[in-house]
């Protein structure tokens, strides 16, 4: 193993990248109150264009899909136009940038929804926890289960968002099906107790994701389409009775799409209590490397050395870094020179100003 593992180019049929360092999507809430990207975001992404691949932050596909104030959208003309200077800035500096498409599902609140409607989910099962609203922190509510007849409309929202991303100049999109948001809520037995064709068996629970992937691949091309999954993710009350069986099926099925990449997360938080999560994998990347046939990006908790190792061991093709990119816009350059990394300041993650974001 050499230090060059992360720093060598990566080439596939879909991707021609200058290195194997990906910038993970980071929800930083620097958009306007109307979810329009800002000039500050142009500077932010331009500063990080030395990454082999930037996966831009989770971006709302519709008003219904929104759960966080000042998160950007990709469903209006104004939003599309505001993204264009950002993609141009990244391309001018030789970067490649995909946009993560997001519907939060139940991780929202009526104060964040059109006409103060209930958030939607796979089933009417509440996620525990607070969420920021224009009236302060509020407890999340019991969502409304999407009607079977409504699901095709949400699939259409995903497709339109992907087409809008292409118009905005992105090189591709990542479908966010991780971390307890809508598509993830449909996958897991703990949040999906439906009795229609989108519930029950693993195949049925995966149907929504497969429909979204199929529509987006048809609309913009599979070579411009990636997917993010969290096979051992338990944040936002995610749980499944047979998580390995679930994601073995899902990931094997995704091989049919010839995607640009699959982006998987190692566990974000400790899997405890141990008894509840005894069936969850503590380390997911080596297991699912054997299942997925295409480009694999791994994420969560990697350093330069451990990132090099996961690549040199053949368990992943790229490594995505999140918090390290927050405080080190020149992360790739620092990796190359061995420079000391700047620690992140968590108090600036969601504050909305320039500090901790572009300076």
Q: What does the chain come to in residues?
A: 359
Cα(231)–Cα(228) distance, rounded to whole angstroms? 10
Cα(67)–Cα(130) distance, rounded to whole angstroms? 11
Cα(77)–Cα(164) distance, rounded to whole angstroms? 8
Q: What is the DSSP letter of 290?
A: T
Cα(74)–Cα(301) distance, rounded to whole angstroms? 29
Q: How far is CA 124 from the centre of its chain?
A: 24
Q: What is the DSSP letter of 168?
A: T
Helix (H) or strand (E) holding 107: none
Active-site annotation holds for 181? yes
User: What 3-state DSSP class applies to 46?
Assistant: helix
The residue among 154, 153, 172 whose CA lies nearest residue 162 is 172
Concatenated DSSP letters for 48-74?
A: TTTSSEEEEEEEESSSTT--STT--BS
- For residue 88, what are its two tokens? 């141009």
Q: What is the DSSP letter of 339?
A: P
Q: Which of 181, 198, 277, 357 is catalytic?
A: 181
Q: How far is CA 56 from the centre of its chain?
A: 9
Output Rg (C-alpha) for the chain, integer angstroms: 19
The residue among 101, 30, 110, 117 whose CA lies nearest residue 62 is 101
Q: At what angle do helices 207-220 and 243-254 cross, to 10 degrees?
A: 20
Cα(71)–Cα(58) distance, rounded to whole angstroms? 8
Cite the active site residues: 181
């Amino acid at each position: 193993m050499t230090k060059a593992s992360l720093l060598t180019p990566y080439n596939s049929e879909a991707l021609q990248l200058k290195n194997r360092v990906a910038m993970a999507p980071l929800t930083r809430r620097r958009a306007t109150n109307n979810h329009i990207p800002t000039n500050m975001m142009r500077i932010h992404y331009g500063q990080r264009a030395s990454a082999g691949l930037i996966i831009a932050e989770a971006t709302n596909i519709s008003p219904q899909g929104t759960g966080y104030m000042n998160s950007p959208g990709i469903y209006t003309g104004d939003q599309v136009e505001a993204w264009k200077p950002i993609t141009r800035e990244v391309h001018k500096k030789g970067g490649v940038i995909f946009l993560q498409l997001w519907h939060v599902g139940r991780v929202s609140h009526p104060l964040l929804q059109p006409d103060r409607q209930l958030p939607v989910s796979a089933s009417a099962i509440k996620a525990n926890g607070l969420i920021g609203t224009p009236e302060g922190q509020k407890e999340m509510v019991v969502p409304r289960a999407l009607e079977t007849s409504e699901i095709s409309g949400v699939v259409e929202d995903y497709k339109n968002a992907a087409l809008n991303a292409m118009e905005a100049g992105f090189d591709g999109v990542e479908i966010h099906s991780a971390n307890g948001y809508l598509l993830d809520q449909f996958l897991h037995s703990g949040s999906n107790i439906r009795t229609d064709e989108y519930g029950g068996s693993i195949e049925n629970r995966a149907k929504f994701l497969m429909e979204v992937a199929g529509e987006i691949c048809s609309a913009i091309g599979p070579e411009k389409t990636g997917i993010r999954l969290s096979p051992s993710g338990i944040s936002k009350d995610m749980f499944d009775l047979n998580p390995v069986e679930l994601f073995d099926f899902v990931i094997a099925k995704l091989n049919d799409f010839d995607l640009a990449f699959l982006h998987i997360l190692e566990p974000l938080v400790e899997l405890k209590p141990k008894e509840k999560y005894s069936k969850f994998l503590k380390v997911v990347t080596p297991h699912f490397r054997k299942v997925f046939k295409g480009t694999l990006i791994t994420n969560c908790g990697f350093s330069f050395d451990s990132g090099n190792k996961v690549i040199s061991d053949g368990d992943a093709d790229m490594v995505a870094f999140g918090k390290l990119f927050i405080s080190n816009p020149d992360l790739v350059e620092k990796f190359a020179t061995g420079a000391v990394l700047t620690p992140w300041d968590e108090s600036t993650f969601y504050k909305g100003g320039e500090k901790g974001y572009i300076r």
